[in-house]
């Protein structure tokens, strides 16, 4: 029995839609068939709260008088990209203050959401139309025109877990990896993860409304490194990082509870991003997809000590969540890097918003690519 | 009772047999878990002391007299819990069982009595929420 988006929205408006989190529906699926779930459940909320380096926001500072073509710009000492129009800039989450590499774009973005004041310094060469050559100002989210978050790659579908076979500690974006397989870290919310609940993106595409750090935003495009060709397991779930999303939302509407700057030792600055996506249960196929549990989702354990981080094992999220997995006959501790507690909180908030009719569902304006692969970079002078 | 402490030595006393005196005079059992002590410099020692409140108080008075601070391990490990996002990154490096995360609620549990002052959590926390008083 298929449902349309309109029928689901009407049920929401009448107040009798059944909205569950992906964890709740995974438990329900232990008793009920996909057909029964499709008949009973209308919307399933998914969420994640992890470090996503490919994040940032466009900001328009407003024009000083006389004008300045801002070419070299810093906020609290952190360079921000000014290679666009006069007072537009892009704050990249991983950019750092050269004098304090533990402080960077992620911190600026978090501070802006909190309503804090930042010191802007900008320089330009002086032109006939923009004669000023320097400006210093204190700015905050209310003083500037727009702050639009545009994250080129978020919500990675199934990021691989990480370990370290070498004899020395590795400091990575996957956390501190202890020598001789001292630990394994992983960074997805598993059965609650957005793109694992709709693995072929039937309901998620351009124009899909998302919860982005507390604001309502949209999927603006496929994310970078979007890959549909990764091997999948018998449940149709990719075994390592596959599809991604580019996301856009108004930073002025965000909530600091769902956005946190991070510094990974000897790696750099990043940003924890809270993301939630509701999935309409249109039919039995989607019901089967949202029913997946951590026992069915597998990921690849990659060795960060080796060139290219080769995969060395395949594990389920149920095993990773148990606290240790067996690797080459020995028990290795596992630790998460993305916050399941926060992801659950987002899934619950989103559930309430969907139920209240505050988060209308719609079909994507256009689907994301059905065939896409990722290229490496061949270097100048390479013979091959 | 058995408790873990950090002993903070000033540079003047690192040459004195403090632990010997502690055992001999106050009859407390001292198990040294970790030490960073060098002549002419301030030092720290992580110890587990087994005794009763009375003997411990006497030992503490002696240590104070020798300018050695006796800091319960719980005070040595600083953690800004209110800012914790429960990501779990610190649990990847904590082998003493002080920092754990898991079912059912996946919030970080901190059992300071298990801390061994290894300090690995300090750089492992992406939000920089841990501090450790140990060593120079």
Instruction: Mutation target for B interface from A269, A324, A341: give the one with most B CBs within 10 A.
Output: A341
Ordered by start, the domain boundaries in chain A are: 5-40+150-257+273-355, 62-144
Tell me the C-alpha distance between B70 and B133, whole Å. 12
Distance separating alpha carbons of residues B30 and B33, to the nearest angstrom: 9
* Cα–Cα distance for residue pair A346/A340, rounded to 1 Å: 10
Give the span between the Cα atoms of A335 and A185, in whole angstroms: 5
Q: Which secondary-structure segment (H or E) carries A34?
A: helix A34-40
CA distances in angstroms from A127 to A22, A122, A133, listed in the order given: 56, 14, 9
**Which H or E run includes B111?**
none
Residues on chain B touching A49 (C-beta within 8 angstroms): 85, 87
Q: How far apart are CA A110 and CA A149, in angstroms?
A: 12
Are A352 and A345 in contact, with CB atoms under 8 Å apart? no
Please report, for residues A38, A239, A333, the alpha-carbon distance to residue A234 in angstroms, rounded to integers and kept in the order given.
Answer: 21, 10, 27
Chain B residues interacting with chain A (CB cutoff of 8 angstroms)? 85-89, 91-93, 95, 101-103, 105-107, 120, 123-124, 126-128
Q: Which of A232, A221, A243 is nearest to A365 (CA)?
A: A221
Kind and range of the H or E element at A178? none
Active site residue A129: yes
B41 pLDDT band (50/70/90 cuts)?
A: confident
Cβ–Cβ below 8 Å for A341 and B103: no
Name, in order, each residue with C-beta under 8 angstroms of A234's C-beta and a sequence gap of 6 or more.
Answer: none
* C-alpha to C-alpha distances, A370 to A109, A219, A289, nearest whole angstrom: 33, 16, 17
Q: Do B128 and A263 touch (CB under 8 A)?
A: yes
- Tokens read off for B105: 């609620």
Chosen for mutation from B80, B88, B101 (greatest number of chain A CBs closer than 10 Å) is B88
Cβ–Cβ gap A340/B106 under 8 Å:
yes
Backbone dihedral angles phi then psi of residue B90, each to the nearest 5 degrees: -70, -30
Inter-chain CB proximity B126 and A342 less than 8 Å? no
Q: d(Cα B39, Cα B16) in Å, to the nearest integer?
A: 10
Look at the domain B2-74 and name its fold.
Alpha-Beta Plaits (3.30.70)
Is ipTM beyond 0.85?
yes
- CB-based contact A349:A278 (threshold 8 Å): no
Would you give per-residue pLDDT tens digits along chain A (384 residues)? 699 999 999 999 999 999 999 999 999 999 999 999 999 999 999 999 999 999 999 999 999 999 999 999 999 999 999 999 999 999 999 999 999 999 999 999 999 999 999 999 999 999 999 999 999 999 999 999 999 999 999 999 999 999 999 999 999 999 999 999 999 999 999 999 999 999 999 999 999 999 999 999 999 999 999 999 999 999 999 999 999 999 999 999 999 999 999 999 999 999 999 999 999 999 999 999 999 999 999 999 999 999 999 999 999 999 999 999 999 899 999 999 999 999 999 999 999 999 999 999 999 999 999 999 999 999 998 665
Q: CATH classification of B79-131 is 3.30.70.20, yes or no?
A: yes
Nearest CA in chain B to A186: B89
CA distance A307 to chain B (A): 23
Q: Which residues of B touch A178 (CB under 8 A)?
A: 92-93
The reply to whether residue A272 touches residue B87, judged by beta carbons under 8 angstroms, is: yes
pLDDT digits (tens, 9 = 90+) for B47-65: 999 999 999 999 999 999 9
Neighbours of A128 (CB within 10 A): 5
Contact A176 B87 (CB under 8 A): no
Domain limits, chain B: 2-74, 79-131
């Amino acid at each position: 029995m298929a449902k349309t988006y309109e029928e689901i929205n009407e049920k929401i408006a009448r107040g009798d839609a059944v909205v569950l989190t992906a964890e709740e529906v995974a438990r329900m699926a232990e008793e009920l068939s996909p057909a029964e779930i499709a008949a009973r459940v209308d919307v399933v909320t998914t969420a994640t709260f992890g470090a996503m380096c490919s994040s940032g926001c466009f900001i328009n500072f407003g024009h000083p008088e006389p004008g300045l073509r801002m070419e070299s710009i810093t906020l609290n000492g952190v360079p921000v990209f000014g290679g666009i129009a006069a007072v537009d800039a892009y704050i990249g989450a991983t950019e750092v203050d050269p004098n304090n590499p533990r402080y960077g774009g992620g911190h600026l973005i978090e501070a802006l959401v909190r309503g804090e004041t930042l010191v802007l310094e900008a320089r330009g060469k002086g032109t006939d139309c923009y004669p000023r050559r320097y400006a210093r100002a204190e700015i905050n989210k209310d003083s500037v025109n727009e702050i639009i978050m545009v994250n080129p790659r978020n919500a990675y579908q199934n990021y691989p877990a990480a370990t370290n076979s070498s004899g020395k500690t590795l400091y990575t974006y996957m956390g501190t990896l202890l020598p001789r397989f001292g630990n394994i870290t992983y960074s997805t919310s598993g059965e609650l993860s957005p793109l694992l609940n709709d693995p072929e993106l039937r309901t998620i595409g351009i124009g899909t409304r998302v919860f982005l750090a507390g604001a309502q935003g949209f999927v603006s495009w496929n994310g970078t490194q979007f890959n549909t060709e990764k091997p999948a397991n018998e449940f149709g779930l990719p075994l390592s990082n596959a599809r991604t999303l580019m996301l856009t939302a108004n930073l002025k509407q965000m909530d600091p509870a769902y956005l946190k700057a991070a510094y990974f030792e000897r790696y750099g600055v990043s940003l924890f991003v809270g993301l939630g996506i509701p999935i309409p249960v249109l039919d039995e196929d989607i019901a089967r997809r949202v029913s997946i549990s951590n026992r069915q989702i597998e990921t690849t354990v990659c060795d960060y000590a080796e060139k290219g981080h080769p995969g060395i094992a395949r594990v389920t999220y149920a095993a990773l969540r148990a606290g240790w997995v067996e690797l080459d006959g020995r028990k290795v501790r596992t630790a998460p890097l993305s916050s399941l507690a926060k992801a659950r909180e987002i899934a619950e908030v989103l559930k309430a918003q969907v139920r209240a009719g505050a988060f209308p569902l719609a079909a994507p304006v256009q689907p994301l690519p059905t065939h896409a692969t990722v290229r490496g970079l061949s270097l100048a002078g390479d013979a091959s | 009772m058995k408790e873990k402490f950090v002993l903070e030595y000033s540079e003047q006393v690192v040459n004195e047999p403090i632990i010997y005196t502690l055992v001999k005079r106050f009859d407390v059992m001292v198990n040294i878990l970790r030490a960073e002590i060098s002549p002419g410099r301030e030092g720290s020692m992580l110890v587990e002391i087994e005794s009763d409140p009375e003997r411990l108080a006497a030992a503490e008075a002696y240590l104070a007299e020798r300018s050695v601070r006796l800091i319960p391990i719980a005070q040595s490990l600083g953690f800004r819990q209110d800012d914790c996002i429960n990501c779990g990154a610190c649990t990847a490096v904590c082998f003493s069982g002080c920092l754990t995360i898991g079912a059912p609620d996946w919030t970080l549990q901190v059992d300071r009595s298990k801390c061994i002052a290894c300090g690995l959590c300090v750089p492992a926390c992406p939000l920089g929420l841990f501090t450790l008083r140990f060593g120079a």
